[in-house]
């Protein structure tokens, strides 16, 4: 523990690393920071709105709560499996996709991940702008610009500051949510709401999908925030620390959203922030709640912006052949990312709720196949035996394009199309299933099974052990081609 503290205290405030490997000498932190980071990231207004959607769109309170919990556990399990990769590899999440897709081919899912980050940052900025507008007595648009400025600053500072804000946000979030639940219980007959039970598969699976998509969407960047932990950190403990923080935080927020929407008599949609704050009171209390809402959004919005920076840098580095990104480049990337998200927020702030629901459900079609392929490869095929130096070498072990991974990914997206139900697109089999969207289940199970079977037979060379950059001078990892295995002798 003392070693970790000494390491942490010796690190500069501004993060020096970006998408490159984190050497063991620079590893620091505790598992508790994973729990607090992800709890703080989920105890926030967007999670409340997501839970409320289950009721706003036709579900009852009782079955919505159960459906949301099931979705949290399923999606949270996927998210936490990605988190466990961070300490072992010491790399951001999407860099590891080069094993399954190739150094160049990994750009395909990464570009889609960047779009996800922009969408979530923009929607979060809308709600934060509403809170800051009320807090400072300015327009929502000015509030959006203020919030965007804070996000730029925190994202540029990087890893340590993000974790610190996560700890503070988790404390503020717990206090705010306990107070809001107390006020809600005193104003609402919760027992009566729970007694109203009208089960329907479409509403129930919508609740499951809302929560599952919320958790799965963290998968592409969750390892970015566990990669600084010492490599000896238990994968099981990392799984439970990140997963528990995310699931508990999200479920608490969504429960509040369910009860708030159910007791709102149609006044929730379009006035999300004002309604939630109105539960707590007026005057100084309302000001504190507006502040807690805005501060709670800092964590998740910074995660989205930081992750987007990581993804853009990963794409560029894949074609440039190295993993170094200067601080000036980092600043430029962040300004472009946050600027784009802010513009989207300003243009779309008045049609938020419906667009957000369609957006997060449509995302599942693109990220569930990626998660399935990445997790099956890491845990079942390569079994943590990555050649980290080869991840930046297009001529190395993983090549430029991995036809197997890309093909299974494309198939995993296409096979979901008949089952998708969003405003953007509705598949031909949705009506036959009673308007139930089961695309995310198809997108997880079928690509996982297909990739496992194919990779067992045709997977490219897998080293005998994990090869890290520090081993380059002592480990001769032979360049191989074809489908045979290469043995890297220690």
Shortest CA distance to 60 belongs to which of 203, 253, 218? 203
**Alpha-carbon distance 368 to 356, whole Å?**
18
Radius of gyration of the chain (CA): 22
Averaged over 414-419, what is the pLDDT? 92
To the nearest 10 degrees (0 to 180), the angle between helices 272-280 and 235-262 is 90
DSSP three-state, residue 88: helix
Long-range contacts of 455-460 (CB under 8 A, 24+ apart): 455/376, 455/377, 455/381, 455/404, 456/381, 458/404, 458/483, 459/381, 459/382, 459/404, 459/483, 460/397, 460/398, 460/399, 460/402
Average pLDDT, the chain: 82
**Alpha-carbon distance 116 to 63, whole Å?**
28
By the 8 A CB rule, do 41 and 246 touch?
yes
To the nearest 10 degrees (0 to 180), the angle between helices 159-187 and 140-157 is 140
pLDDT of residue 208 exceeding 80: yes
Fold of 28-365: Hydantoin permease (1.10.4160)
Least confident of 194-208, 443-457, 466-480: 466-480
**pLDDT, position 322:** 60
**pLDDT, position 403:** 92
DSSP three-state, residue 421: strand
Question: Is the pTM above the cut of 0.85?
Answer: no
Burial of 28 per CB tally in 10 Å (0-12, 13-18, 19+): buried
Share of the chain above pLDDT 70, in %: 86
User: How do residues 272-315 score in pLDDT, each as one tens digit?
Assistant: 777 787 777 777 888 888 888 778 778 788 888 877 777 777 88
Of 2-11, 122-131, 261-270, which one has max mean pLDDT? Answer: 122-131
**Alpha-carbon distance 36 to 164, whole Å?**
9
Helices (H), 57-189: 61-83, 85-89, 97-101, 107-136, 140-157, 159-187
Distinct helix (H) and strand (E) counts, the chain: 18, 0
DSSP three-state, residue 306: helix
Structure tokens at 383: 């079994």
Structure tokens at 168: 């503070």
**pLDDT, position 469:** 81
pLDDT band at 371 (very low <50, low <70, confident <90, very high): very high
**pLDDT, position 12:** 59
**pLDDT, position 379:** 94
**pLDDT, position 173:** 84
**pLDDT, position 9:** 46
Shortest CA distance to 246 belongs to which of 295, 212, 204, 196? 212
Least confident of 6-20, 348-362, 421-435, 436-450: 6-20
DSSP three-state, residue 467: strand
**Alpha-carbon distance 205 to 211, whole Å?**
10
**Alpha-carbon distance 113 to 224, whole Å?**
14
Of 59-73, 95-109, 421-435, which one has max mean pLDDT? Answer: 59-73
Domain boundaries, the chain: 28-365
488: left (phi over 0), alpha (psi -120 to 50) or beta: beta
By the 8 A CB rule, do 345 and 337 touch?
no
pLDDT of residue 389 exceeding 80: yes
């Amino acid at each position: 523990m003392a070693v970790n503290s000494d390491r942490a205290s010796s690190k500069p405030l501004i993060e020096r690393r970006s998408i490159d490997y984190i050497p063991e000498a620079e590893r620091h932190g505790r598992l508790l920071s994973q729990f607090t980071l992800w709890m703080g990231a989920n105890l926030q207004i967007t999670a409340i709105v997501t839970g409320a959607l289950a009721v706003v769109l036709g579900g009852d309170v009782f079955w919505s709560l159960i459906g949301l919990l099931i979705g949290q556990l399923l999606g949270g399990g996927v998210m936490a499996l990605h988190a466990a990769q961070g300490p072992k590899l010491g790399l951001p999440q999407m860099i590891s996709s080069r094993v399954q897709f190739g150094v160049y081919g990994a750009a395909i899912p990464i570009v889609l991940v960047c779009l996800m980050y922009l969408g979530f940052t923009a929607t979060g900025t809308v709600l934060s702008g509403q809170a800051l507008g009320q807090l400072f007595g300015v327009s929502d648009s000015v509030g959006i610009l203020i919030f965007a400025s804070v996000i730029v600053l925190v994202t540029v500072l990087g890893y340590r500051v993000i974790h610190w804000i996560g700890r503070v946000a988790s404390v503020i979030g717990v206090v705010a949510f306990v107070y809001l639940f107390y006020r809600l219980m005193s104003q609402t007959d919760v027992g009566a709401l729970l007694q109203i039970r009208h089960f329907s598969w479409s509403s129930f699976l919508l609740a499951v999908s809302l929560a599952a998509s919320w958790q799965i969407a963290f998968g592409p960047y969750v390892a970015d925030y566990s990669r600084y932990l010492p490599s000896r950190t238990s994968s099981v403990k990392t799984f439970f620390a990140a997963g528990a923080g995310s699931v508990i935080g999200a479920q608490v927020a969504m429960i509040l959203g369910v009860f708030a929407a159910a007791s709102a008599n149609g006044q929730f949609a379009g006035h999300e922030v004002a309604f939630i704050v109105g539960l707590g009171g007026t005057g100084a209390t309302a000001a504190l709640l507006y502040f807690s809402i805005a501060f709670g959004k800092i964590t998740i919005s910074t995660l989205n912006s930081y992750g987007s920076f990581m993804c853009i840098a990963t794409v560029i580095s894949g074609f440039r052949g190295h993993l170094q990104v200067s601080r000036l480049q980092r600043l430029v990337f962040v300004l472009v990312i946050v600027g784009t998200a802010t513009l989207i927020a300003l243009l779309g702030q008045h049609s938020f709720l419906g667009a957000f629901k369609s957006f997060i459900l449509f995302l599942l079609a693109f990220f569930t196949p990626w998660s399935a392929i990445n997790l099956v490869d890491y845990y079942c095929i390569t079994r943590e035996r990555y050649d980290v130096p080869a991840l930046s070498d297009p001529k190395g072990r993983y090549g430029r394009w991995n036809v197997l991974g890309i093909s299974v990914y494309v198939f995993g997206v296409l096979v979901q199309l008949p089952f998708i139900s969003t405003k953007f697109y509705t598949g031909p089999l949705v009506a036959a299933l009673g308007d139930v969207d089961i695309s995310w289940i198809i997108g997880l199970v079928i690509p996982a099974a297909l990739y496992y079977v194919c990779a067992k037979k045709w997977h490219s060379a897998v080293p005998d052990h994990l090869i890290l950059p520090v081993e380059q001078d002592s480990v001769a990892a032979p360049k191989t081609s074809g489908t045979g295995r290469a043995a890297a002798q220690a």
